Amino acid sequence: MKRFIAVLVLMICNLLSAQVQFEARVSKATLGINERLRIDFMMNVDGDNFVQPSFEGFRIIAGPSQQVSQSWVNGRSSFEKIYSYFLVPNQKGTFTIKSAAIEYNGQIYKTAPIKINVTAATEQPRDPNDPQIDAEGKLYLVADVSKTNPYINEPITVVYKLYFNNIGITNSNEVNKPKYNDFWSQNIDIKQFVAEEGMFKGEKYRFIVLKKIVLYPQKSGKLVIEPLALDIDVQLPSNRRDMFGRMVVTEGTKRVSAGTKTINVKSLPEAGKPEDFSGAVGNFDFKVTPTKTDLKNGESLDLVVSVTGKGNLKLFSLPKPIAPNALEMYDAVHTEQVDTPLSGMAGKISDSYTIVPQYKGNYPIKPLKFTYFDLGSKTYKTLSSPEIMINVLDGPSPTDATVASSADGNKNKIEKVEQFKFIKLKSNLLTMNTKDFFGSNLFYGLFFFPFLMLPLIVLFKKKKEAIDGDVAGNRIRMNNRLAKKYLSEAKKQINNKELFYIALEKAMHNFLKAKLHIETSEMSKDNIQELLLSRNAKPEAVNDFIALTENCEVARYAPSSSVTIQQDFDKAVVIISDLEKQIA
């Protein structure tokens, strides 16, 4: 009997697993080093959390592009989802494209690895009027990096310039966005593209500045900036003329890439590093300013801790003042007045603490210290604030035990009190006369249980078939489960900032996919805003949702307290709850 049950369970598992197909297909297994390779990752279910392989030995020039199709044949639905990439080899040899992975119904599915043989360049027919060929040597995309060996949190800039000579440019399309992993990045908007003249490779070229990025490296070592790639629509003069003697212009597309950039980031020196160093790098001024120092009973003051200057202002935390127990100090209100030009962040950040005195007397607030790494002198500098005396002119008089500042900051410590345990009123007694199992209610219940379960099994099978046929409904339910799963994961990772914000962002994305029936590729800011408003969501809730989603990426590298992370989690729960009620 046990062997029969095991075989039955194995057959059911094999049947269920056979329903999911996930495979990789390539356009060719052998190609020349000057050829392109197309690879498609195909699945017959709407898998989520697609993880692409590393494509070692190849460079991605386009992708991923996503295609989804669904059809009905003889009353049965057919679903297909494809992720496509175009690759070019970096060198000759035999390479293995490793497995891609998806998640479906809580299970992980992977493709089989594929071996690709890259040979020497192959002969290809060339058209002399083809703009792809004529544009060679006339069109370049260059990434100018201001510094390749900065310190951690030292700003560097990347300026992308498109150089061209004797050709016309009508349009451009970004096919591969650069990635700035392990960098804090800020894009500087370019309101209007202006063609300028300059020297490039010893010749005069015209160029256009396409992008300006300010980067702050967040860890030491070799950090790679993946390349920007563009498809440029070009116009080139040909060797032909029209009936009026004018030169015929041919049109075509040229793909250009800025190339990969490697940044060697240096660690901040350990020699002379103070214990209270919080990661500030730049040149700063530090102030601690009270709004008043003389108070009457019932009044309050604001203690403002501020840093002004040039450096990574958004990427470190300010020191927190320590006040005597007789002064009630509330959580800080953080404000930022920071601009980010091409030279890096500059401005002011501050924490404002509201303090309410409890008793009459004079109470000192000890000096605060702020340490930063000065890039000019390459040394650590420490700034100190003066001691601030708070004079409370009237109010109740404190006792010594009340006013004394405790070392651990615990104002209301309750001593442990030993008590007698209460007498137990219930007992667990066992009967002396036991009944036989044969003929008992449990015996007959277990005997007839399989027969009672047969109708339930039939109903369950019909319900399962109906659910399996509802592809759209399954996708919505799956996205709902993923949203709850990642929201729960964010709560577990609340003490790990980076993992917390990654899980929170996934939770909000899967919530949108469940409620708006959209895919990841459709999640632009304008599209999300339009769809939510069309579903009767309130504008305030929509704006809060978009703002919190955009903040998740920045918050991974920006410093934040446990209070801020808890506030972001609570805000996400409230926003999702409000949209759940508002969306029609």
**For residue 294, pLDDT beyond 60:** yes
Helix (H) and strand (E) counts in the chain: 9, 30
Q: 233 vs 322, which has greater pLDDT?
A: 322
Amino acid letter at 74? Answer: N
Q: Are 97 and 116 in contact (CB under 8 A)?
A: yes
- How do residues 184-197 score in pLDDT, each as one tens digit? 999 988 888 888 88
Q: What is the DSSP string of 493-554?
A: TTTSHHHHHHHHHHHHHHHHHHHH---GGG--HHHHHHHHHHTT--HHHHHHHHHHHHHHHH
Q: What is the structure's pLDDT at 579? A: 75
104: pLDDT confidence band, cut at 50, 70 and 90? confident
Q: 135 vs 364, which has greater pLDDT?
A: 364
Strand stretches in 245-330, DSSP E: 247-257, 261-265, 282-290, 294-295, 301-311, 327-329
Mean pLDDT of 470-496: 68
Q: What is the structure's pLDDT at 368? A: 93
Q: Select from 521, 377, 565 the least CA-distant residue to 48.
A: 521
Q: What is the structure's pLDDT at 140? A: 87
547: pLDDT confidence band, cut at 50, 70 and 90? confident
Give the H/E segment covering residue 42: strand 37-43
Q: Are 55 and 47 in contact (CB under 8 A)?
A: no
- How do residues 365-380 score in pLDDT, each as one tens digit? 999 999 999 999 999 9
Give the CA angle between residues 284, 287, 293 to the nearest 5°. 175
Structure tokens at 568: 């972001």
Q: 294 vs 15, which has greater pLDDT?
A: 294
- How do residues 239-288 score in pLDDT, each as one tens digit? 666 555 566 667 777 778 888 889 999 999 998 899 889 999 999 999 99
Q: Cα(292)–Cα(310) distance, rounded to whole angstroms?
A: 29
530: pLDDT confidence band, cut at 50, 70 and 90? confident
Question: pLDDT averaged over the chain?
Answer: 79
Q: Are 62 and 9 in contact (CB under 8 A)?
A: no
Amino acid letter at 392? Answer: V
Q: What is the structure's pLDDT at 256? A: 81
User: Any bridge partners for residue 294, and if so which?
Assistant: 391
Lowest mean pLDDT among 142-151, 308-317, 340-349, 531-540: 531-540
Q: What is the structure's pLDDT at 15? A: 46
Q: What is the structure's pLDDT at 525? A: 75
Q: Are 311 and 283 in contact (CB under 8 A)?
A: yes
**For residue 404, pLDDT beyond 90:** no
Q: For 509-547, give one letter per residue: b (16+ CB within 10 A) or e.
A: bbbbbbbbebeeeebeeeebbebbeeeebeeebbebbbe
Give the H/E segment covering residue 441: helix 441-469
Mean pLDDT of 153-157: 94
Q: Cα(488)–Cα(482) distance, rounded to whole angstroms?
A: 10
Q: What is the structure's pLDDT at 125? A: 42
What pTM does this model have?
0.48
108: pLDDT confidence band, cut at 50, 70 and 90? confident
Strand, coil or helix: 6: helix
Q: What is the structure's pLDDT at 65? A: 79
**For residue 351, pLDDT beyond 90:** yes
Q: Cα(143)–Cα(554) distance, rounded to whole angstroms?
A: 23
480: pLDDT confidence band, cut at 50, 70 and 90? low
The CA dihedral of 293, 296, 300, 306, to the nearest 10 degrees, is 0
